[in-house]
Structure 1
Amino acid sequence: MREVFQQELREVQERLVEIANLVAESIEKATTAFNQSNVSLAEEVIEDDYRIDALAVALDEHAITILARQSPVARDLRIVVSALRISASLERMGDMSTHIAQLARYRFPDKVVPKSLRPTFAEMGRLDVEIARKLAELVTTENIELAEEIRNDDDKIDALHLSVFDKVLGETWKGEAVDTVDATLASRYHERFADHAVSIAKKVQYLATGDWVPEDV
């Protein structure tokens, strides 16, 4: 029975890794679609989001079954409870990717944001992709040094997010109302994607060390 239980726990981690990798793929495609006005890639992201949702639901059901049947304690309990919370955040990250892709689809063939903001969003997208890749590695390896790197990258995205607001609220902003709304929404989606990654990183750190880092996102 113990061997079966350990196999179930390994399956929990394997499913988390699978979802994390899908999220990394999703944000990479979404940011490319956003920055290049690639409608076919945007539609691919939107259509594939159901896979992330379905896997997250299946993982939650599996974790709840383990709790009910095995009554885990100590680290085993941390694994299962953390998995439930991490899967929810990964699902939300997939939603953020989808929202970014939807903006690209809605504005096609035009680009979503004015030329003056495109370098900012290109950098935000690059950082989100980098965060997603690091997160997938973190979930796989529990290398907590990656958690600190993710937090540092999140700080950079926060600064870019604030710069977008400074731009659209500034006296020199010439964008139309729709440009202001699109830029604000897109910036928020990028920022929230990174925030969820930080939240997951804290949970993995807790899983690896037993020390809880307070949530602030």
Structure 2
Amino acid sequence: MKFRAMIRPAFAIAILAAIPSGPVLAVDGYDISAFTSADLDVSGSLSNAEFNTTLEPGLSRKALAKSFRRADLNRNGSIQVNEFLIFRRVIILPKNPLERWFHRADTSIDGAVSFDEFAASFKAKVALVSIRRDFLRADRNESGTVTLLEYSNFRRGLTPPSRLAVFDLADFDGDGLLTVPEFGHAYAQSTSDALILERFVKLDDNRDGVLTTSEWSPGVVR
């Protein structure tokens, strides 16, 4: 398991929590009963096999694969509820690129983008510290989510730059110490665990399994 995969343990739970129980299911006014019926493992997303059950019978393997690729907007190998509704044209993506990004990122279709949703829109070569810097800069009211207006203001350069240091951005739990997974947030998400651990060990002078700011940047006292 990748170290950084640990930062999103509540993502699927959050998606499921947004989906009420009952025979007729709806989120934010959208009927998602077809989605939840197909979600046999109750994971909050549809696998290739689950998604295929929602398509018309008799399609060729090539047509099934093409439909899945078209629906999987974020290319993560599964279909989230917003992608399902977009594929079915229940949600029509606007022409404005900022609005299009927002609707594609808002997998919980609740009108706000969480950090996990925000981060999922970036490629693996981007470090989580950079993503978090952008997210905190966009989240002007510090609500923990980003609205379309906040995102638009951020993209248009109407929000002040973040003054947080890389160490603080990597320190997701805010305890002033970096564990190995948190240290990995400073590297591209595609960086190997072995390389991250190797560099962590070199900095961890007292071998206590965490990094302080003085170990990260010798001479810095906090």
Smaller-chain TM-score bracket: under 0.3
Output the TM-score relative to the length of structure 2: 0.26
Structure 1 length-normalised TM: 0.27
Higher Cα Rg, which structure: 2
